[in-house]
Structure 1
Amino acid sequence: MFSNNFKTLIVLLVFCVVGQSILNIPLKKGKITKQLQPFIKGSILKSGITDKLINLEDDIYLAQIQVGLSQDTFEVVFDTGSNFFWVPSNNCETCIQSGMSKGYYCTQEDACVSSDFILQQYYATGDISGNITNFVVRIPGTKPVNYFGILVDFVYQLPSGLQGIIGLTPFYDFQTDTKKPNLITLLYQEKQIEKPIVSFYQAFDVDEQSGKYQSAITFGGYDETKIVEKLNYFKVIKKNSWSIQIEGFEVGGVNIFKGKEEALIDNGTTSFYIRPDIGEKFFDYIMGVRNITLGDNYDVDCDADFPNVSFTFRNTEDKLVTYEVEPDFYITRGTNNTCYIYFEGFIGAPTFVIGNTFLRKYLPVFDYEKNTVGFARTINQAPQLPQKEQIQQY
Structure 2
Amino acid sequence: MRLLLLLVSMAISQGFVQVPLTRRKSLRKTLQELGLLAELNSNIQNLSSKYSSGLQEAATEPLANYMDNEYVGTIYIGTPPQEFSVVFDTGSANLWVPSVSCTSAACTNHHKFNPHLSSSFHTSTEVVSISYGTGSMRGILGYDTVQVGSIIAEKQGLVLSEAESLFLYYSHFDGILGLGYPSLSVSGTTPVFDTMWNEGLISQDLFSVYLSSGNGSVITFGGIDNSHYTGSLQWVPVTEQKFWQITINSITLNGQVVACQYGCPAIVDTGTSVIAGHPEAIRGIQKAIGANPDIYGLYNVNCNKISSLPDIIITIDGMNYNLPASAYINQFPGSCSSGFQSTSGLWILGDIFIREYFVVFDRSNNRVGFAPIVKS
| Shorter-chain TM-score range | 0.7 to 0.9
More deviation, 50-59/219-228: 50-59
More deviation, 118-127/44-53: 44-53
Q: C-alpha displacement at 1:374, in angstroms?
A: 0.7
Cα 1:217–1:173 change in 2 (3 A) is closer
Q: Which residue of 2 aligns with 1:28?
A: none
Cα 1:340–1:102 change in 2 (3 A) is same
**CA distance in 2: counterparts of 1:372 and 1:201, whole angstroms:** 17
Q: C-alpha displacement at 1:99, in angstroms?
A: 6.0
Cα 1:254–1:193 change in 2 (3 A) is same
SS in 2 for 1:329: helix
2:137 pairs with 1:136: no
2:328 pairs with 1:330: yes
Q: C-alpha displacement at 1:202, in angstroms?
A: 1.4
Cα 1:50–1:108 change in 2 (3 A) is closer
**CA distance in 2: counterparts of 1:67 and 1:124, whole angstroms:** 26
Q: C-alpha displacement at 1:173, in angstroms?
A: 8.0
**CA distance in 1: counterparts of 2:289 and 2:293, whole angstroms:** 9
**CA distance in 2: counterparts of 1:138 and 1:76, whole angstroms:** 12
SS in 2 for 1:61: strand
Q: C-alpha displacement at 1:46, in angstroms?
A: 4.2
2:298 pairs with 1:297: yes
Cα 1:265–1:6 change in 2 (3 A) is same
Give the letter aligned to residue 240 of structure 2. Answer: K
Q: C-alpha displacement at 1:231, in angstroms?
A: 0.8
Q: Which residue of 1 aligns with 2:207?
A: 198
Q: C-alpha displacement at 1:362, in angstroms?
A: 0.8
SS in 2 for 1:281: helix
**One of 319, 337, 342 as aligned partner of 1:340:** 337
Cα 1:61–1:40 change in 2 (3 A) is farther
Q: C-alpha displacement at 1:234, in angstroms?
A: 0.9
Percent of aligned positions that are identical: 25
Give structure 2 stretches of 5+ with no counterpart: 6-39, 42-48
Instruction: Give per-residue Cα distances to partners, 1:103-130, cap 9 Å, x unaligned.
Output: 1112395332332222211111111111
Per the normalisation by structure 1, the TM-score is: 0.76
**CA distance in 2: counterparts of 1:251 and 1:98, whole angstroms:** 43
Q: Which residue of 1 aligns with 2:370?
A: 375
Aligned pairs (5 A) from 1:74-113: 74-94=84-104, 96-97=105-106, 100-107=109-116, 110-113=119-122
Contact 2:253 2:312 in 1 (8 A): yes
Q: Which residue of 1 aligns with 2:55?
A: 45
2:356 pairs with 1:356: no
Contact 1:99 1:161 in 2 (8 A): no
Q: Which residue of 1 aligns with 2:44?
A: none
Q: C-alpha displacement at 1:101, in angstroms?
A: 2.0
Q: Which residue of 1 aligns with 2:10?
A: none
Give the letter aligned to residue 54 of structure 1. Answer: A
Contact 2:4 2:272 in 1 (8 A): yes
Q: Which residue of 1 aligns with 2:196?
A: 187
> Alignment length, in residue pairs?
328
Q: C-alpha displacement at 1:284, in angstroms?
A: 3.2
Per the normalisation by structure 2, the TM-score is: 0.79
RMSD: 2.8
Q: C-alpha displacement at 1:69, in angstroms?
A: 1.4
Q: C-alpha displacement at 1:140, in angstroms?
A: 4.5
Q: C-alpha displacement at 1:49, in angstroms?
A: 7.1
SS in 2 for 1:278: helix
**CA distance in 2: counterparts of 1:346 and 1:73, whole angstroms:** 34
Q: Which residue of 2 aligns with 1:30?
A: none
**CA distance in 1: counterparts of 2:223 and 2:363, whole angstroms:** 11
Cα 1:180–1:54 change in 2 (3 A) is closer
**CA distance in 2: counterparts of 1:301 and 1:101, whole angstroms:** 36
Cα 1:7–1:326 change in 2 (3 A) is farther
Q: Which residue of 1 aligns with 2:123?
A: 114
- Normalized per residue, which structure has more helix? 2
Give structure 1 stretches of 5+ with no counterpart: 10-19, 22-38, 209-213, 315-319, 382-394
**CA distance in 1: counterparts of 2:282 and 2:352, whole angstroms:** 17
Cα 1:99–1:308 change in 2 (3 A) is farther
**One of 255, 268, 271 as aligned partner of 1:265:** 268
**CA distance in 2: counterparts of 1:323 and 1:48, whole angstroms:** 28
Contact 2:311 2:325 in 1 (8 A): yes
Cα 1:109–1:281 change in 2 (3 A) is closer
SS in 1 for 2:287: helix
Give the letter aligned to residue 231 of structure 2. Answer: E
**CA distance in 1: counterparts of 2:85 and 2:299, whole angstroms:** 29
**CA distance in 2: counterparts of 1:53 and 1:248, whole angstroms:** 31
SS in 2 for 1:221: coil
Contact 1:107 1:113 in 2 (8 A): no
